[in-house]
């Protein structure tokens, strides 16, 4: 299994999805060796983790962030980390009797191809996002597109995290639809830490006790996530419901731009930027919210709304997200439809009955979700391709 | 004494609220005018249901009424549907009038707006019942004598009210928990009443037609008129068979290609083949049979779902809040004497709006059980509450404190 990050060293949902999938695969008796590009002390009882360099995560991230395609310049400038990773994987693949190479997203695809060439093992390319998703609908970095195209073409099977992603893969790279299977991400609620009684956002609690309602977004501040769209909507929401606070948790290349935009819109006093958070500050951001909003332009899956409801907070999400294919008890809107976003945020915030019903129904809904179903679907793909080999 | 089938058909369409956004509140007060292109628009639905159900059903019924002297039908038609037909399909309304003109069709009383007002405002409920009676008198020249409440929602208090209001009969679901060891196939009397009688729906025989008829997975499929009439003829200890269902069963819930119209046409002569069998209207049945027992219904019973309660309309917090919000405006709205405002408020009382907010079975993916013009119950709620906010805006404009 080839990945670029695992929690706690993750900059987004990719690492979490890899970790949870592996854990459930292991429970279904899949023997996994996971290759990471950075050094980690982290070991666990369900899989073996290899590190290809002695570099730690922070340093690696400085060189090559999984989401930072714009700074990935050319194939000639492939970083030594990536070359190390490729060579390690290719030689490792020949050492043992593996059945499958399972590679997550473009950063691992060169290594996966090398390993496949060296061993002729079946390759499963698991797509959590493609370049056009990460660049907010633009085509993105052509170098990365080349890697994605080659990797997806060489793969024996492509797994996409949503129907929407499956269709983008087919559209962007001419991969036949029947080569792509959809395995949705999921959520195991007992894997998530619980809220405690003291919310860390004390000031926001004070505002809430003064009648404020809180709308939260947790995610990277990049064009893909459409926080600009949310701020334009926020302006109209605040016009109708002045006691509304928008809590924006995350970091990214749009950070400064978003702060200026809030000021230009005259709603700086209604928007709080809390930066990138983990652990309790991350959990409490969900916990303190009345409504979680994920307005993404393109979200191949997008697990945060499910995490939000685990902390008791219902969501408004864009139809342009994979999670909208499986999550029913939430509000949905097209990411470009600002007026409808406003309509739904306002409609939700001033209707306790709606909030209560949605919270109950959505909580019931996530109770039945489990990564086990995703693991079993993945194993089904493994077994198909192992047979071909035999 | 002959055995009777009492066929009672209920015709209703609401004024569905369009996608009514917060940006329209205070600007556009027309909640019910949909885009012409939207298939869920009220006029589009009237066109569709008329073509699939009302027109062919009435054609079949008038043929049966004219051919078989003993064939009779009872029906109810809500005020909201009548006004929609007046506006968009007057020829269809005329086909209902033609049925009544045969003298063999009885119209049943109900609320004009198909509301649950009885449970929230007795005063408003009585106004709507009177509005309905006046509308029926003016269109059909008939004064209803038997009452049915919206969704067949029934309890002892309602029966006592209808008794005092002078109705000779009232309709209810023949629910097992109410009947106990008894069956629905007799005339009953509601507890603590003087004169009124109670007719109870035979839900098994009714639902065989209304729900199961076209279901190919049903082990009795296909249901022929012969088989169905045999079941009725085989029933022991029975006098009346109360077949109560939506008018739209014919052609809309059960499409024409299921053979539902042929079934209707065939069952009449097959039932009448036995000279001990006949058809009666609800009033005929009340006049012809003797009361066999008293019925006690302290808790409200409806004709919906396996629970037979009001939970499809009032089961979750948003439904409860929405209906409370509507009735909380009662005195302010009525005080304005603004008849267009009052009528919009009443149209929002129609039970269908609350049904669209139902979340029962939503997690099971059972969307067919809850046909709705909205994508989710949450969207239904937001549209409805925006309309409610606009009612308040209009009150405020008139100087009424909100």
Angle at B196 between CA B194 and CA B198, to 5 degrees: 130
Mean pLDDT lowest among A135-144, A364-373, B80-89, B272-281: A135-144
Q: Is residue B305 part of a domain?
A: no
Domain boundaries, position B98: 3-295
- State the pLDDT confidence band at A70, using cuts at 50, 70 and 90: low
* Structural domain total, chain A: 2
Domain boundaries, position A317: 190-367
Residues B144 and B17 in one domain: yes
Q: Is residue A118 part of a domain?
A: yes
Residues A207 and A81 in one domain: no
Contact partners, residue A92, CB within 8 Å, separation at least 6: A33, A35, A50, A115
pLDDT at A77: 47
Q: Is residue A5 part of a domain?
A: no
Residues A169, A172, A174, A178, Cα dihedral to 10°: 20
- State the pLDDT confidence band at B305, using cuts at 50, 70 and 90: confident
Kindly tell me if the per-residue pLDDT of B56 is higher than 80.
yes
Q: A354–B23: do the CB atoms touch at under 8 Å? A: no
Q: Is residue A1 part of a domain?
A: no
Alpha carbon of B326: minimum distance to chain A alpha carbons (Å): 14
- State the pLDDT confidence band at B45, using cuts at 50, 70 and 90: very high
When scoring A326, A343, A350, A352 by the number of chain B Cβ atoms within 10 A, the one with the most, hence best to mutate, is A343
**Phi, then psi, of B113 in degrees rounded to 5:** -100, 15
Q: Is residue B304 part of a domain?
A: no
Task: Say what percent of chain A tops pLDDT 90.
Answer: 73
Residues B279 and B338 in one domain: no
Average pLDDT over residues B49-66: 98
Using the 3D structure, point to which of B295, B327, B358 is the last residue of a domain: B295
Tokens (6 digits) for A223:
């064009």
Residues A54 and A166 in one domain: yes
Q: Is residue A2 part of a domain?
A: no
B328 shares contact with chain A (CB less than 8 Å): no
Task: Say what percent of chain B tops pLDDT 70.
Answer: 99
Residues A44 and A174 in one domain: yes
Residue A66 or residue A160, greater confidence: A160
CB atoms within 10 A of CB A142: 9
Residues A309 and A167 in one domain: no
* B91 noted as active-site residue: no
Average pLDDT over residues B132-142: 98
**Cα B104 from Cα B95, distance rounded (Å):** 14
Alpha helices in chain A (DSSP H): 13-27, 57-63, 80-95, 109-119, 131-134, 142-154, 163-173, 202-209, 227-240, 255-264, 279-288, 304-310, 338-349, 352-367, 371-389
* Structural domain total, chain B: 2
Distances (CA, A) of B250 to A58, A144, A171, B64: 69, 60, 46, 15
- Asked whether the beta carbons of B350 and B80 are under 8 A apart, the reply is yes
Contact partners, residue A28, CB within 8 Å, separation at least 6: A372, A375, A376, A379
Q: Is residue B318 part of a domain?
A: yes
Q: A343–B23: do the CB atoms touch at under 8 Å? A: yes
Using the 3D structure, point to which of B295, B329, B361 is the last residue of a domain: B295
CB atoms within 10 A of CB A279: 10
Kindly tell me if the per-residue pLDDT of B273 is higher than 70.
yes
Task: Kindly give the pairing relationship between strand B240-246 and strand B291-295.
Answer: unpaired
- Asked whether the beta carbons of B197 and B280 are under 8 A apart, the reply is no
Output the average pLDDT for chain B.
96
pLDDT at B320: 97
Tokens (6 digits) for B386:
């925006």
pLDDT at A190: 82
> Kind and range of the H or E element at B106?
strand B105-107
Kindly tell me if the per-residue pLDDT of B368 is higher than 70.
no
Alpha carbon of B116: minimum distance to chain A alpha carbons (Å): 19
Average pLDDT over residues A354-364: 97
**Cα A314 from Cα B1, distance rounded (Å):** 62
Mean pLDDT lowest among A89-98, A319-328, B335-344: A89-98
Average pLDDT over residues B314-326: 96
pLDDT at A56: 80
Contact partners, residue A298, CB within 8 Å, separation at least 6: A132, A133, A136, A137, A164, A168, A224, A320, A321
pLDDT at A213: 98
A349 shares contact with chain B (CB less than 8 Å): no
Using the 3D structure, point to which of B233, B268, B295 is the last residue of a domain: B295
Confidence (pTM):
0.90
pLDDT at A390: 43
Residues B92 and B229 in one domain: yes
Residues A222 and A104 in one domain: no
* Domain CATH for B277: 3.20.110.20
**Cα B268 from Cα B261, distance rounded (Å):** 12
Kindly tell me if the per-residue pLDDT of A96 is higher than 80.
yes
Distances (CA, A) of B325 to B116, B122, B321, B387, B396: 14, 16, 6, 11, 16
Residues B284 and B341 in one domain: no
Mean pLDDT lowest among A53-62, A142-151, B324-333: A53-62
Residues A115 and A204 in one domain: no
Residue A170 or residue B305, greater confidence: A170
pLDDT at B79: 98
Q: Is residue B263 part of a domain?
A: yes
Q: Is residue A202 part of a domain?
A: yes
Q: Which of B84, B151, B248, B252 is catalytic?
A: B151
Nearest to B116, CA basis, from B295, B306, B320: B320
Residues B115 and B244 in one domain: yes
Task: Kindly give the pairing relationship between strand A101-104 and strand B197-201.
Answer: unpaired
Residues B193 and B119 in one domain: yes
Average pLDDT over residues B119-148: 98
Residues B205 and B335 in one domain: no
Residues A167 and A283 in one domain: no
Residues B242 and B329 in one domain: no
Kindly tell me if the per-residue pLDDT of A365 is higher than 60.
yes
* Domain CATH for A240: 3.40.50.2000
Tokens (6 digits) for A19:
């970790």
Residues A140 and A250 in one domain: no
B359 shares contact with chain A (CB less than 8 Å): yes
Q: Give the full edge-to-edge strand order of the sheet including A291-294.
A: A271-275, A244-249, A213-218, A291-294, A315-318, A331-333
């Amino acid at each position: 299994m080839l990945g670029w990050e695992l929690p706690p060293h993750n900059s987004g949902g990719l690492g979490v999805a890899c970790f949870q999938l592996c854990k459930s695969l292991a429970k279904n008796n899949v023997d996994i060796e996971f290759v990471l590009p950075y050094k980690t002390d982290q070991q666990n009882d369900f899989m073996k983790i290899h590190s290809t360099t002695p570099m730690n995560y922070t340093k690696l991230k400085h060189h090559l962030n999984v989401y930072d395609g714009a700074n990935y310049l050319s194939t000639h400038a492939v970083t030594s980390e990536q070359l190390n990773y490729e060579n390690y994987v290719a030689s490792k693949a020949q050492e043992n009797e593996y059945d499958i190479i399972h590679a997550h997203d473009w950063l691992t695809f060169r290594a996966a191809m090398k390993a496949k060439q060296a061993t002729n093992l079946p390759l499963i390319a698991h797509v959590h996002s493609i370049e056009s998703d990460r660049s907010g609908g633009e085509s993105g970095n052509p170098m990365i597109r080349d890697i994605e195209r080659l990797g997806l073409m060489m793969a024996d099977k492509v797994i996409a995290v949503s129907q929407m992603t499956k269709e983008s893969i087919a559209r962007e790279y001419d991969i036949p639809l029947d080569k792509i299977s959809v395995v949705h991400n999921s959520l195991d609620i007992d894997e998530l830490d619980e809220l405690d009684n003291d919310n860390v956002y004390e000031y926001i609690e004070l505002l809430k006790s003064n009648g404020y309602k809180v709308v939260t977004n947790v995610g990277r501040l990049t064009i893909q996530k459409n926080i600009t769209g949310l701020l334009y909507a926020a302006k109209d929401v605040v016009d109708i419901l002045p006691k509304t606070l928008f809590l924006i948790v995350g970091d990214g290349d749009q950070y400064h731009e978003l702060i200026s935009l809030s000021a230009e819109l005259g709603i700086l006093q209604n928007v709080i930027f809390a930066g990138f958070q983990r652990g309790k500050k991350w959990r409490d951001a969900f916990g303190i919210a009345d409504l979680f909003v994920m307005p993404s332009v393109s979200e191949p899956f997008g697990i945060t709304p499910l995490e939000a409801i685990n902390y008791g907070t219902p969501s408004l999400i864009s139809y342009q997200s994979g999670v909208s294919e499986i999550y029913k008890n939430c509000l949905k809107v097209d990411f470009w439809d600002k007026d409808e976003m406003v309509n739904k945020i306002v409609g939700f915030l001033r209707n306790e009955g709606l909030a209560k019903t949605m919270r109950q129904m959505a909580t019931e809904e996530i109770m039945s979700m489990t990564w086990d179903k995703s693991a079993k679907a993945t194993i089904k793909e493994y077994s198909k391709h192992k047979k071909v080999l035999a | 004494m002959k055995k009777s089938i009492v066929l009672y058909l209920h015709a209703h369409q609401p004024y569905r609220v369009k996608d009514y956004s917060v940006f329209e509140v205070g600007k556009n007060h027309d909640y019910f005018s949909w885009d012409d292109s939207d298939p869920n628009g009220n006029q589009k639905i009237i066109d569709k249901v008329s073509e699939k159900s009302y027109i062919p059903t009435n054609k079949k019924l008038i043929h049966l009424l004219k051919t078989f002297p003993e064939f009779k039908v009872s029906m109810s038609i809500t005020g909201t549907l009548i006004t929609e037909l007046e506006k968009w399909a007057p020829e269809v309304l005329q086909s209902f009038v033609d049925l009544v003109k045969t003298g063999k069709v009885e119209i049943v009383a109900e609320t004009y707006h198909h509301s649950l007002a009885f449970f929230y405002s007795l005063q408003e409920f009585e106004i709507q019942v009177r509005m309905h009676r006046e509308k029926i008198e003016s269109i059909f020249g008939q004064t209803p004598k038997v009452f049915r409440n919206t969704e067949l929602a029934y309890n002892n208090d309602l029966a006592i009210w209808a008794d005092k209001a002078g109705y000779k009969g009232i309709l209810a679901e023949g629910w097992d928990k109410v009947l106990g060891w008894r069956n629905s196939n007799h005339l009953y009397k509601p507890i603590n009443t003087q004169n009124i009688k109670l007719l109870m729906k035979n839900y098994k025989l009714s639902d065989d037609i209304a729900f199961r008829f076209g279901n190919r997975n049903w082990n009795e499929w296909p249901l022929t008129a012969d088989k169905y009439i045999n079941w009725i003829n085989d029933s022991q200890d029975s006098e009346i068979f109360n077949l109560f269902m939506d008018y739209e069963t014919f052609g809309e819930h059960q499409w024409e290609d299921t053979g539902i119209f042929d079934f209707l046409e065939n069952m009449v002569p097959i039932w009448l083949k036995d000279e001990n069998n006949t058809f009666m209207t609800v009033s005929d049945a009340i006049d012809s049979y003797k009361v066999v027992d008293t019925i006690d219904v302290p808790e409200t019973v409806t004709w919906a779902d396996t629970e037979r309660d009001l939970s499809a309309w009032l089961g979750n917090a948003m439904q409860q809040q929405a209906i409370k919000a509507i009735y909380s405006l009662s005195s302010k709205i009525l005080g304005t004497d603004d008849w267009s405002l009052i009528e919009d408020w009443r149209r929002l009382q129609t039970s269908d709006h609350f049904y669209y907010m139902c979340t029962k079975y939503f997690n099971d993916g059972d969307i067919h059980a809850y046909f709705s013009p909205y994508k989710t119950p949450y969207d239904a709620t937001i549209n409805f509450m925006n309309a409610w906010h606009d009612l308040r805006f209009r009150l405020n404009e008139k100087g009424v404190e909100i």
